[in-house]
Amino acid sequence: MKSTRIERRAQKLQIATGLPWTTSLSRVKSLEAADPLVPPADEAQAELECYFLYSMAWPGIDTRHPWGIRSADSRRGALLLTVEDEDVNREVSGESMASELVRACLPRISEEGELRGIPGLRFIVEDESVRLYRIGLAGSITLAGVDTDKWLMAVDTVTRDAESADTMLCHQQAPDRWHSSESATRNPAAQDMHAQHHRRIVASSWLASGILRRAPMLRTIGVPLSTTAWTNPSRDGGREWIIEYIHEPLAEAPLHHRGFQNLLTDPECGIPLIVTDFDCTCQQPADAGYACRLYACSPTGSPGEIQVRFSRRLGRRLAHYTADHNDYAARRSLYQRLPESLLPVPEH
């Protein structure tokens, strides 16, 4: 049990972001008492983080940490993500976090003219990390833990694949400027479906950024087995983020997800959200595989909604994830047990 307010705040920061204890404690000591533990991103930074999560939301590879993110170190105008290159399921030869990140993030134009990846994104390999930025815009995401040699090899592979598929990589055609297809996503006069889609993404960037900066918090729900996400248009002109966290509950009591809800909406370390509904199926048979669901939105009317699906796996439904004993043991070690001070008060 942490005894001082500073220690309790540092514990929240550590659990929410995955930062080491010494880093969390030092960070809290440098903050004013009223400062948020996880600072909100500046506008351009939030947009970049939103596009990053949108690109990585449905991974093409299997990772242990949520989206492969071990920790997130936030500043208003920058984000440092530590990812686990050795985190990737090695059943698929040649796969790595580097190859997944390259495929997901680098902007490219298909033969049909569809833009994929993050508009305006370019990268620099430096100091054994990869820094992502958008030309002419503030903000950056630094990827630590990525094997930079694998990153460069993945870029070469994607380039060759693009050439054979008549797909153009924007950083090749326009290394120092936005390609015309990328610029179209920022044209306020454009009214086509593609432009409207990007405007909806950007409108809810505060929410996506908030999720990304707290991705390690998902590990408090249970043993991470699979993390995916996708979006739908929301009624307020933004996007509804649906996060499905398939997990094995390790808490002995039902409502094991309530601690996550408390942290997610905590005034000190959470996202500014108001919970609008909570469908709980914890009383259903343990092996049924039902998913409890949390629904929330902005208390101030900012566009965007969030739905978190707590899809549990127990008994026979867990067998698929326990076949590789080493992998399963590694996943179990990632579960973050919440201290009693952060658990919900029992209902009577």
**Mean pLDDT value of segment 56-71:** 93
Q: What angle do CA 90, 95, 100 make, to 5 degrees?
A: 130
Q: What angle do CA 167, 168, 169 make, to 5 degrees?
A: 125
In angstroms, how far is CA 225 from the centroid of its own chain? 15
pTM summary value: 0.94
pLDDT in tens, 214-235: 999 999 999 999 999 999 999 8
Most confident of 61-70, 132-141, 196-205, 250-259: 132-141
Q: Which two tokens stand for residue 31?
A: 């903050």
pLDDT given for residue 348 in this prediction: 47
Contacts of 307 (CB under 8 A, 6+ apart): 240, 241, 242, 243, 293, 294, 295
Most confident of 4-18, 84-98, 273-287: 4-18
pLDDT in tens, 263-298: 999 999 999 999 999 999 888 876 676 789 999 999
118/135 Cα distance (integer angstroms) = 11
Residue 239 near residue 233 (C-beta atoms within 8 A): yes
Q: What residues are paired with 231 via a beta bridge?
A: 241
Residue 38 near residue 74 (C-beta atoms within 8 A): yes
213/272 Cα distance (integer angstroms) = 13
